[in-house]
Structures are given as structure tokens and as C-alpha cells.
Amino acid sequence: MKTKRLSDNIEKILNTQIVNEGYSSAIYRAMANCLEYNGWVGAAKLWKKYSSEEMAHYEKIISYMQDRDCMPIIPAIPQPQYKYEGIKNIVELSDKHEIDVSGQWKKIASEAMKESDLMTFELAQWFIGEQTEEEAKMIYWLDRIDMYEKTNKSLGDIDEEMEDMTQNTPPAQI
């Protein structure tokens, strides 16, 4: 017997968020493609990793909806931009994108709270924690690029740093 445990409103919002997470994955994959095409192999690996992490988010929402006895919709994901100006442009756009996604999850949390849907609220809280980490990664790269520019260091060297980061996470802010 089917016993759908999400309101139509929450169901609709979560289906939209599946699109948004899938779109995040597609954007980062397109960025990785552009980086690799232009010889930024280290950075490309890192953006490919970010793309996989977003795909895990996509899957997490689908699993949650199934757990709540709802049938998720497999969405059509819009085609992302595929040409970028360079590494700085990619970091800036990624940062802006993560801020947008944080806003989407805050909205989901507040809709869930309005309906006293604490299960969905908890899901949204998990994602909000994840967003803090993802914004921190982009803040880290923005700061590193700033430092490279201020010290007239070649930005090409950041490629190796980015490759190292595929094994690690950025140090916590002090």
C-alpha cells in the first residue's frame, strides 16, 4: 500500500531540487571539461570531484523521497555554459553558484518548518551544513587566487595545488 508522507508542496520543491543538484553536477563537469581542454589538468580533476559530490546530493534527495513513499521525478537538466574565461572566472562562478544553492536549501528548510515536516527539515539541515563546507572551499580558492595575484605569482602554479586538494579538504579557517 502506498502512503505518501510528503505534502504536494514539499514533493514539488524536492523534485525541483533534484534538478538543481543535477544542474550543479553538470556545471562543474562542464567547468572540468573546459579546464582539461585548456591544459589545467589538476584543476580539472578537482572540479570533476565537485561534480561527483553534486551527483551524490542528487541521489540523496531521490533516496529520501523513496523513504517517504514518494516517487521522485527524473528531471531534465538544463545544459550548462561550457566555455569559461579561465580559472579565476570558474572559481568566481562556482562561488556564486554555491551561494544560490545555499539559498535554495534555506527556502526548503523554511517551507518544511512551516508544515512542521521535521524529517524534511532535518534533510535540509544536512544540506545546509554541506553548503557551509562548499562555500568555504570557494572562499579558500578566492583567497588563494588573491594571494597569487598580490604576490605576482603565476596562477599556473595553483593547478598543482588544486590537484593536491583532490586528496584533501581545505584547512579550517582559524
Residues at the contact surface with ligand FEO, assessed by CB under 6 A: 21, 24, 54, 57, 98, 101, 131, 134
CB 172 → ligand FEO: shortest distance, Å? 18
DSSP 155: G
The C-alpha cell of 36 is what? 582539461
43 or 101: whose CB is closer to ligand FEO? 101
Q: Which residues contact 154 (CB under 8 A, 6 or more apart)?
A: 148
Closest residue to ligand FEO using C-beta atoms: 57
100 or 115: whose CB is closer to ligand FEO? 100
CB 102 → ligand FEO: shortest distance, Å? 8
CB 156 → ligand FEO: shortest distance, Å? 27
5 or 60: whose CB is closer to ligand FEO? 60
CB 105 → ligand FEO: shortest distance, Å? 8
Provide the phi-psi class of 59: left if phi over 0, else alpha when psi is between -120 and 50, else beta.
alpha
Location of C-alpha cell 579558500: 140
**Which amino acid is located at 1 in the chain?**
M
d(CA 16, CA 10): 10
CB 57 → ligand FEO: shortest distance, Å? 4
d(CA 167, CA 147): 22
101 or 148: whose CB is closer to ligand FEO? 101
134 or 159: whose CB is closer to ligand FEO? 134
Contact present, 32 and 48 (Cβ < 8 Å)? yes
d(CA 117, CA 124): 11
